[in-house]
């Protein structure tokens, strides 16, 4: 029997196996083979004591499996050290190497350090029968791409799957951390910037690159891969965050983006909202374990991973979608809903008929936030509104909190100088009936993480 596939192992058993394998300095497969051999011989042998230099026994939480994808760059030599550092910390490492990576380090040295052979080929029958790229993609807590070359980032950003590394990255549902490494000009190139922005929007995490001397003589700038210990620190932070899901099991509804209110079949009233802040909150809430429904007006952002995204056009559609998503424990209204719509939108395109511009009668849209905040039954426990203000930000936001009946308002300055509309940063005030907290200007992702942490605290997570 050359290979074996074991299915339906419970998470608990997997965790114990990982722990046992890590403690014995073996891969999971080696450990399972040994257990089977012991069982078959009907003569249980005690687990072999550490074959590596003795370390403190790993704690249950430390029994983790990382899939390391090594890309083809000179920094690949640092990945050997990365494997060693991870295994020292009782983190099991399985390795996939691209074809180009094998020009820099050999599968033999990688395998020796990782404790099991490196995987290199999508069409290698041995690895497909033994493990398979889908299992490589899933049977781990985290995927780390180091070095992440410009080419590998481009493939990831565009969903290619023509080799083992890219196929695994496309098939995974695990968090992915990349450690970019390339020549500074490649890093600064518009195409790389575009790919990086796409990857970040897709939820891919990054560590580095650092600035400094490059391997090529006379070249310096940003593009050096982060040092192995920096990558290890990022990995450890992510692995411990994995166990911290303060919003696990909580249902959250979030609105985001503008609404489009039709004038006729081709024209509409809209506003400048990009949806970035609402999408960042949806990503942060999902990362904290929440069951998130994102009701989004028309934006150009991709659906956040792990979030149920409902796309709508108008304010009335948005209200219906929010009502349908209830019950929820928390509702966050980050959308810039159009206050008015055209009372009688034209069924056909309005034509210039010589009688001057059409007189468009406007009527008020339903206030989604106020409607949900004032529900008699099914009201979420925590209703959070946003206030987009161009002057007297706190004063107006406090009035809005009262008028709309919500629990918190996140107030931001949307004047042109504030740069919040469409920009990547936001300076907000978190306002409740009794308190005003002003947060410094920071990326919208950070505002989202802080808000989610506050929500978790308010829901009683320790
Ligand atoms: N909001 C809503 N439905 C509307 C209008 C606003 O749900 N029809 C929500 C927004 O999502 C936001 C909050 O109400 O959470 C405040 O939005 P904002 O545009 O700042 O306030 P307005 O209600 O439009 O008030 P004003 O025009 O007076 O600033």
Quote the CA–CA distance of 340 and 269 in Å, as a whole number: 9
Residues 245, 28, 87, 183: is their CA dihedral positive or negative?
Answer: negative
Atom 3 in ligand 1: which residue has the minimum CA distance?
367
> Cα(255) to centroid of ligand 1, in Å?
12
> Cα(365) to centroid of ligand 1, in Å?
10
| Number of helices and strands in the chain (H, E) | 16, 21
For residue 301, how far is the Cα from the chain centroid? 14
Check residues 170 and 442 and name the one with the higher pLDDT: 170
> Cα(149) to centroid of ligand 1, in Å?
44
> Cα(387) to centroid of ligand 1, in Å?
7
Q: Residue 415 — very low, low, confident or very high, per pLDDT cuts 50/70/90?
A: confident
Q: Which of 87-96, 180-189, 347-356 has the lowest mean pLDDT?
A: 347-356
Q: What is the pLDDT of residues 221-255, one digit of tens each?
A: 899 999 999 999 999 988 887 667 889 889 999 99
Taking the domains of the chain in order of start, what are their residue ranges?
59-242, 251-340+362-458
Whole-number pLDDT of residue 340: 97
Q: Which of 24-33, 266-275, 347-356 has the lowest mean pLDDT?
A: 24-33
CATH homologous superfamily of 59-242: Flavin prenyltransferase-like (3.40.50.1950)
Which residues does the annotation mark as catalytic?
A: 271
Tell me the mean pLDDT in the region 47-72. Answer: 56
**Token output for 428:** 């907000």
Sorted by sequence, the CB contacts under 8 Å of residue 385 that are 6+ apart come out as 333, 369, 373, 400, 401, 404, 406, 408, 409, 410
**Is the domain 251-340+362-458 a CATH 3.10.105.10 member?**
no
> Do 59-242 and 251-340+362-458 fold alike per CATH?
yes
pLDDT for residue 406 is more than 90: yes
Query: Tell me, what DSSP letter sits at residue 9?
Result: -
Tell me the mean pLDDT in the region 301-315. Answer: 94
Q: What is the pLDDT of residues 276-291, one digit of tens each?
A: 999 999 999 999 999 9
156, 112, 138: which is closest to 11 by C-alpha?
A: 138
- Give 269's Cβ-side CA count (13 Å radius): 19
Atom 24 in ligand 1: which residue has the minimum CA distance?
339
**Atom number of ligand 1 nearest to Cα 396:** 29
Angle ∠(194,200,206) on CA atoms, nearest 5: 110
Ligand 1 pocket check: which of 271, 277, 369 to mutate, most ligand atoms within 8 Å of Cβ?
369
Q: Residue 26 — very low, low, confident or very high, per pLDDT cuts 50/70/90?
A: low
Pair 83, 114: CB distance under 8 Å: yes
Q: Which of 85-99, 364-378, 411-425 has the lowest mean pLDDT?
A: 411-425
Q: What is the pLDDT of residues 6-24, one digit of tens each?
A: 666 666 677 677 767 666 6
Give residue ranges with CB within 6 A of ligand 1: 255, 315, 333, 335-337, 339, 365, 367-369, 385-388, 400
Pair 5, 73: CB distance under 8 Å: no
Query: Tell me, what DSSP letter sits at residue 102?
Result: G
Ligand 1 pocket check: which of 295, 368, 418 to mutate, most ligand atoms within 8 Å of Cβ?
368
Cis peptide before 2 (omega within 30 of 0): no
């Amino acid at each position: 029997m050359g290979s074996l596939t074991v299915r339906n192992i419970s998470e608990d058993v997997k965790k114990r196996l990982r722990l046992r394998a890590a403690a014995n300095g073996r891969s999971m497969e080696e450990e399972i083979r040994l257990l089977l051999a012991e069982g078959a011989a009907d003569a249980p042998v005690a687990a072999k004591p550490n074959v590596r230099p003795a370390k403190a026994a790993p704690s249950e939480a430390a029994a983790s499996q990382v899939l390391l994808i090594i890309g083809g760059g000179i920094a690949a030599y640092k990945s050997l050290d990365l494997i060693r550092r991870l295994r020292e910390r009782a983190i099991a490492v399985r390795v996939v190497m691209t074809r180009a990576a094998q020009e820099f380090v050999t599968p033999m040295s990688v395998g020796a350090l990782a404790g099991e052979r490196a995987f290199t080929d999508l069409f290698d029958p041995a690895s497909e029968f033994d493990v398979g790229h889908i299992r490589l993609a899933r049977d781990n807590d985290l995927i780390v791409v180091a070095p992440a070359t410009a080419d590998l980032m481009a493939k990831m950003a565009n969903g290619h799957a023509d080799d083992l590394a890219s196929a695994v990255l496309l098939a995974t549902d695990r968090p992915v951390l990349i450690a970019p490494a390339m020549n500074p000009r490649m890093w600064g190139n518009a195409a790389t910037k575009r790919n990086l922005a796409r990857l970040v929007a897709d939820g891919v995490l990054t560590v580095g690159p650092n600035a400094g001397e490059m391997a090529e003589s006379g070249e310096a700038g940003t593009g050096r891969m982060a040092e192995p210990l920096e990558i290890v620190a990022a990995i450890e932070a992510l692995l411990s965050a994995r166990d911290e899901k303060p919003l696990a099991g909580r249902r959250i509804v979030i609105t985001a983006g503008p609404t489009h209110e039709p004038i006729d079949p081709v024209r509409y009233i809209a506003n400048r909202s990009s949806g970035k802040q609402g999408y960042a909150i949806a990503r942060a809430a999902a990362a904290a374990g929440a069951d998130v429904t994102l009701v989004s007006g028309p934006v150009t952002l991709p659906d956040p991973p792990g979030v149920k995204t409902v796309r709508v056009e108008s304010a009335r559609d948005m209200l219906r979608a929010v009502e349908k998503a209830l019950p929820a424990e928390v509702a966050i209204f980050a959308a810039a809903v159009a206050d008015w719509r055209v009372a009688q939108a034209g069924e056909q395109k309005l034509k210039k008929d010589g009688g001057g511009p059409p007189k468009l009668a406007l009527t008020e849209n339903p206030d989604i936030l106020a409607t949900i905040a004032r529900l008699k039954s099914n009201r979420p426990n925590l209703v959070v509104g946003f206030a987009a203000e161009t002057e007297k930000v706190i004063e107006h936001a406090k009035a809005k909190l009262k008028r709309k009946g919500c629990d918190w308002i996140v107030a931001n300055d949307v004047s042109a100088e504030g740069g919040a509309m469409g920009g990547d940063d936001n300076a907000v005030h978190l306002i409740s009936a009794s308190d005003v907290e002003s947060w410094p200007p920071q990326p919208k992702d950070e505002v989202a993480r802080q808000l989610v942490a506050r929500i978790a605290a308010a829901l009683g997570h320790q």
